[in-house]
Amino acid sequence: MITLSTPPTVQEYADLIDRSVPFSLANYGDGEWQCILGRQGANAQGGEYTPELREALVQTLKQPPAAFEGNYLYGTNPGKKLDEEVTGWRVANLACDDNRWVWKETLSAANVNGKLGPLLKALRRRRVMIVGPEHLAYLGERNVIHLNSFVQVPDKNCFTDIDAIIVAIVAEARAKRIKVICFSCGMAAKVMIHRLYQIIGDTTILLDMGACWDPYVGRLSRKGYRKRDVLDRMARNVDDGREQDEIVLDLALGHVAARKRQLNDGPMDARFERAFSTRYMAVREFQPESICEIGVRGGYYAYMMLAAAPHASYYGIDKNLGDWGGKIDFYKHAQVFLGRFEPEIVIADSQELEQLPRYFDLIHIDGDHSYEGCKHDIVLAMRYAAKAIVVDDYHNLKGVKQACDEVAAGLETTRTYVLDDGGWRGAFVFDLREDRL
């Protein structure tokens, strides 16, 4: 029998994992209750309320596992609208209903607030399996936790395949000596945990993590994850001994990689990672409060820059071209990808601009890469940049190099240097801070 505070704390769950005390936590949110109450339709994630799922969910509550001794926890936090109905249903249907309910948001709230560290630390010390949709397979790549096993389930409605999934989980858990299984598979997770508890619950911790892992792999699936500084918050959770900056950078690269996969937009190999990292590092150095970018495309560099300065404003200019590496209409993807930073993206030909709408701390130039085009953009940016101008593709495009070198040669006091990304593209930096003193 385990005893927890009301509500339980993250540290308490972490301690149970550290001490290898088997327990299970299955969370019942609005969707589960709607389904149990017999509503039609689907939850916000598209999980359908079918009669079969309803019956199975009801059984998880009416028949607590045989070995139920206070270590099978039911989490709940029904929305205010449902409170009365849920209470009524529980009184009418559940014989013993008092001691088994815990507040279900302990982990999800801590996750959003950057306070999940103790749990992630505990998980890193155990052999862990994740049961979830494909995008969670990338968690291990970003050093969030070490995945000893991953059982993939369909994006939604995996209740249809539940028998096969349970067989796969048991086989994997035994073969890989798994100690903790984390579930992120919607309403069906409650049924899985209930059934698995009776097979492996005496040796294995079964933890309903819901959408907690999503923001680590670029899925901002809940309102709480769409905060500008979500990466800083997640980095505080990861807290694995690396510098906070390094973790944020790692997570941001993961988000860009996920976005590229989603758009089927080419590889995200080590070269890209190095190039994207340079922009992150530059922005960390200059701490801009406002960023302007000429040449937005899908917003990858912008994402890296804003990851490093999440409270900065972003103003993007793009001609919406298919040349110089552009893809028609990709600025629309940028609008979505950068959404939480409230970007202002205008469609315009920078070559026709004689002025910018205001001053910016940092201007990133990545538009027309011809000598004339790039030089025009640098000269324009010189009049509006307060702290720095960063020009992409210095190493690999002659016209860009010539334009940067020419402008730099005419500046006596400005510090300039190249951000080296391993000799691939290179970015030329004009550090204007001294000039303004």
- The one-letter code for the residue type at 318 is D
- Rounded CA gap, 390 and 427, in Å? 6
For helices 371-382 and 398-409, the axis angle rounded to 10 degrees is 40
Strand pairing report for 149-152 and 180-183 = unpaired
Residues 6+ apart with CB under 8 A from 323: none
| Separation of alpha carbons 185 and 168, rounded Å | 15
CB of 320 to ligand SAM, least distance (A): 5
User: Which residue's CB is nearer to ligand SAM, number 23 or number 428?
Assistant: 428
Name the residue nearer to ligand SAM (CB basis): 197 or 337.
337
In order, the DSSP letters of 194-234 are HHHHHHHTTT-EEEE-TTTTGGGGT---SGGG-STTHHHHH
How is 281-315 classified by DSSP, letter by letter?
HHHHHH--SEEEEE--TTSHHHHHHHHHSTTSEEE
Please report how close the Cβ of residue 316 comes to ligand SAM at its closest, in angstroms: 9
Length of the chain as a residue count: 437
Rounded distance between C-alpha atoms, residue 327 and residue 348, angstroms: 15
Least Å distance, CB 318 to ligand SAM, is 5
CB of 85 to ligand SAM, least distance (A): 49
Give rounded-to-5 percent helix, strand, coil for the chain: 45, 15, 40
For the CB of residue 233, give the shortest distance to ligand SAM in the complex, in Å: 24
Q: List beta partners, residue 27.
A: 75
Residue 285 CB, shortest distance to ligand SAM, in Å, is 19
Min CB(328)–ligand SAM separation in Å: 8
C-alpha distance from residue 171 to each of 65, 68, 150, 190 (Å): 21, 24, 12, 19
Residue 327 Cβ, how far from ligand SAM at the closest point, in Å? 7
Within 249-371, strands assigned E span 290-294, 313-318, 344-347, 360-365
CA distance 208 to 77: 14
Whichever of 68 and 324 has its CB closer to ligand SAM, that residue is 324
How far apart are CB 138 and ligand SAM at their closest, in Å? 20
Nearer to ligand SAM, 23 or 394 (CB): 394
- 116 vs 251, beta carbon nearer ligand SAM: 251
Reported as half-sphere exposure (CB side, CA atoms, 13 A), residue 373 has a value of 18
Provide the binding-site residues for ligand SAM, judged by CB under 6 A: 294-302, 317-321, 324-326, 349-351, 366-368, 373
Contact 10, 106 (CB under 8 A): yes
Least spacing, CB of residue 332 vs ligand SAM, in Å: 11
Whichever of 212 and 292 has its CB closer to ligand SAM, that residue is 292
Please measure the distance between the N-terminal and C-terminal CA atoms of the chain and give it in whole angstroms: 67
Of 140 and 422, CB closest to ligand SAM: 422
Instruction: State which residue, 351 or 416, has the beta carbon closest to ligand SAM.
Output: 351
Residue least distant from ligand SAM (Cβ): 326
Coil vs helix vs strand at 12: helix
Nearer to ligand SAM, 14 or 304 (CB): 304
Q: Pick the closer one to ligand SAM by CB: 280 or 300.
A: 300
